[in-house]
């Protein structure tokens, strides 16, 4: 492939590498409005996303790295990635299905298993099944027993950049044994432009009356709680940083927001999830999903220790995530919506990130 650059300044060939016997590469999607989405098949990661601001200037709104080598050594391994087999946390790395105990999951986040283990879907090379100017479809087949999960799982993820500046992510999965899964995209957004140091001025709305409070290890207690009367309430627009340092136990535990919101929606309905706005650029991101929840994470553990794209650094709270998903630790909490997938069943979900600019 010839050396060429993306609109975000990435050199395409810097993403070419042989990993685990498979070739990685950068897939570039463009729409009729000039927006550009760059994805690598290493972890099915979104690397850059160029959308217009209020003046029509294309702005990269996701954090990331300039090369595949940087992703291999990054202290933020989930930048833009598909997380699986189980995104978010499973308490103490164990669960049971039909009376069979599975207790070999990696303990990689305090006492818990996070985002599929040591080498989750974020660190696998996916196969590219199809690509055109605005769509790419990727597949990863997870072996029975991989990272302690039962069943051979086929996962297909499609990214589509529409002419309305929407990033549509569609998920499809099947298994040959009963298993659990929770798939999400872990993009870190800064609508003021990647490299802007703080998302505290972003104005956020989340369509949720309830959230899941957690213990100090980020595992939900169980019952949902009302957001009303707490700093967790984003039913009306608030600046992200307005209450983030309040003396509120949940914010103290997470060093900020790192919580699942229970969306006001019907099961499997594609409906409004959240809206985020940067007052600096006027860029608005509307999120829609079929999933029952969304994890708000405000980059509380980002350090700024390493260089990202264009020499940028990403300090604490330099980005936020809106990870549409099922609830943490659902395999151990039968009262939560089920994350169980059995042979013959098809898991499917859709999430849309839609961008526009306020004049």
Distance CA 44, CA 31 (A): 20
Of 125, 186, 168, which is closest to residue 29 (Cα–Cα)? Answer: 168
Based on its alpha-carbon atoms, the radius of gyration of the chain, rounded to whole angstroms, reads 19
CA angle 184, 297, 128 (to 5 degrees): 25
Output the CA torsion 17→318→260→275 (10° steps). Answer: -100
The one-character DSSP state at 154 is E
Asked if residues 316 and 301 have their Cβ atoms less than 8 Å apart, the reply is: yes
Of 341, 319, 322, which is closest to residue 330 (Cα–Cα)? Answer: 341
Asked if residues 134 and 162 have their Cβ atoms less than 8 Å apart, the reply is: yes
Residue 88 among known ligand-binding residues:
yes
Residue 38 among known ligand-binding residues:
no
From 36, 146, 147, 323, active-site residue = 323
Confirm whether 266 is a catalytic residue: no
Q: How far is CA 69 from the centre of its chain?
A: 21
Residue 65 among known ligand-binding residues:
no
Distance CA 152, CA 174 (A): 8
Confirm whether 172 is a catalytic residue: no
From 65, 115, 160, 186, active-site residue = 186
Residue 89 among known ligand-binding residues:
yes
The DSSP H or E segment spanning 205 is: strand 203-206
Active site residues: 186, 323
Residues tagged in the binding site annotation for beta-D-galactose = 88-89, 186-188, 258
Feature table: binding site: 88-89, 186-188, 258
């Amino acid at each position: 492939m010839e050396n060429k650059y993306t609109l975000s300044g990435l050199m395409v060939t810097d993403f070419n590498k042989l990993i685990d016997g498979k070739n990685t590469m950068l897939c570039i999607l463009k729409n009729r409005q000039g927006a550009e989405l760059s994805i690598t098949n290493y972890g099915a990661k979104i690397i850059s996303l160029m959308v217009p601001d209020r003046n029509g200037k294309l702005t990269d709104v996701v954090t990331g790295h300039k090369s595949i080598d940087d992703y291999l050594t990054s202290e933020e391994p989930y930048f833009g990635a598909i997380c699986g087999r189980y995104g978010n946390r499973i308490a103490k790395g164990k669960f049971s299905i039909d009376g069979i105990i599975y207790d070999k999951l990696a303990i990689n986040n305090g006492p818990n298993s996070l985002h599929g283990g040591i080498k989750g879907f974020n660190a696998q090379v996916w196969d590219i099944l199809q690509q055109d100017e605005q769509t790419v479809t990727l597949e990863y087949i997870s072996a029975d027993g991989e990272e302690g999960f039962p069943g051979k799982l086929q996962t297909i993820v499609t990214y589509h950049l529409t002419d309305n500046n929407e990033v549509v992510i569609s998920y499809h999965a099947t298994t040959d044994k009963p298993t659990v899964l929770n798939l999400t995209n872990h993009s870190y957004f800064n609508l003021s432009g990647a490299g802007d140091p703080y998302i505290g001025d972003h104005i956020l709305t989340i369509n949720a009356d309830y959230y899941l409070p957690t213990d100090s290890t980020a595992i939900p207690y169980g019952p949902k709680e009302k957001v009303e009367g707490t700093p967790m309430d984003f039913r009306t627009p608030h600046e992200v940083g307005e209450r983030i340092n309040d003396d509120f136990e949940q914010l103290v535990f997470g060093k900020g927001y790192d919580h699942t919101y229970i969306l006001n929606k019907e099961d499997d309905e594609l409906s409004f999830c959240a809206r985020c706005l940067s007052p600096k650029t006027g860029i608005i991101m509307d999120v829609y999903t079929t999933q029952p929840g969304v994890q708000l994470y405000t980059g509380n553990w980002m350090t700024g220790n390493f260089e990202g794209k264009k020499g940028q650094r990403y300090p604490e709270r330099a980005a936020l995530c809106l990870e549409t998903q099922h609830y943490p630790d659902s395999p151990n909490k039968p009262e939560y919506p089920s994350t169980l997938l059995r042979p013959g069943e098809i898991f499917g979900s859709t999430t849309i990130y839609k961008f526009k600019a306020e004049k």
